[in-house]
């Protein structure tokens, strides 16, 4: 159930959905969001792989990769990485 909540968050916040995915056969669909300033500097990036329930978060030189237990847990991880949810587009 939590994967649906996280995917809904990604969809509602304007993450890019990669339906062909990654991996050998492209079956590992995923969501990405990148905040870029001055057209060249990535402020932060978020990647969510629902098939594996894996999230990758990068900000500056800090990186996190792991399994979020719920949407609330994912939001806590973003906060710990100093990413304000309001900095992520909302439709």
pLDDT digits (tens, 9 = 90+) for 8-30: 999 999 999 998 876 666 678 89
Amino acid 33: pLDDT: 95
pLDDT digits (tens, 9 = 90+) for 40-91: 788 899 999 998 899 999 998 899 999 999 999 999 999 999 999 888 875 4
Amino acid 24: pLDDT: 65
Amino acid 88: pLDDT: 86
Q: Which residues pair with 48 in a beta bridge?
A: 31, 55
Amino acid 49: pLDDT: 92
Q: Please answer whether residues 32 and 18 qualify as being in contact, where contact means their C-beta atoms are separated by less than 8 angstroms.
A: yes
45 Cβ contact list (under 8 Å, min separation 6): 32, 33, 34, 35, 56, 57, 58, 59
């Amino acid at each position: 159930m939590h994967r649906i909540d996280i995917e809904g968050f990604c969809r509602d916040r304007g993450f890019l959905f990669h339906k062909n995915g990654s991996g050998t056969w492209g079956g590992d669909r995923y969501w990405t969001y990148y905040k870029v300033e001055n057209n060249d500097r990535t402020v932060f990036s978020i990647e969510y792989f629902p098939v594996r329930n894996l999230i990758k978060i990068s900000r500056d030189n800090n990186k996190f990769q792991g399994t979020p237990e719920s949407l609330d847990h994912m939001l806590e991880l973003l906060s710990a990485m100093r990413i304000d949810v309001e900095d992520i587009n909302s439709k």
